[in-house]
C-alpha cells in the first residue's frame, strides 16, 4: 500500500488530466469529511473507507462541495 501523501498526489495528477487538462485545478480539503476534493467538478479525490461506522465517510455526500 502506498503512503497517504504519495497516493493523494497520484490521484490528483490523474484527476488533473480529466477535469481541466493543462489548466489549474482547484483542490481543497474538507475537515468535515476528512478528505480532499475538486472545487471545479465536485469529484472527491479520496474514496470512502470501508468502515460502516466511520464518522467521516458514512454520511459523506456524493459530490464535493468545498471545505
pLDDT of the residue at 18: 73
On the question of pLDDT at 30 being above 60, the answer is yes
Over residues 6-24, the pLDDT tens digits come to 666 677 777 777 776 667 7
Q: Using pLDDT thresholds of 50, 70 and 90, give the confidence band for residue 51.
A: very high
Q: Which domain holds residue 64?
A: 1-67
| Spatial separation of the C-alpha atoms in residues 12 and 25, rounded to whole Å | 9
In the chain, the number of structural domains is: 1
| Spatial separation of the C-alpha atoms in residues 28 and 38, rounded to whole Å | 7
Amino acid at each position: 500500500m502506498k503512503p497517504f501523501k504519495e497516493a493523494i498526489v497520484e490521484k490528483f495528477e490523474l484527476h488533473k488530466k480529466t477535469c481541466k487538462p493543462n489548466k489549474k485545478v482547484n483542490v481543497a480539503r474538507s475537515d468535515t469529511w476528512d478528505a480532499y476534493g475538486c472545487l471545479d467538478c465536485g469529484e472527491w479525490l479520496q474514496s470512502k473507507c470501508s468502515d460502516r461506522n466511520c464518522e467521516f465517510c458514512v454520511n459523506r455526500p456524493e459530490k464535493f462541495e468545498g471545505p
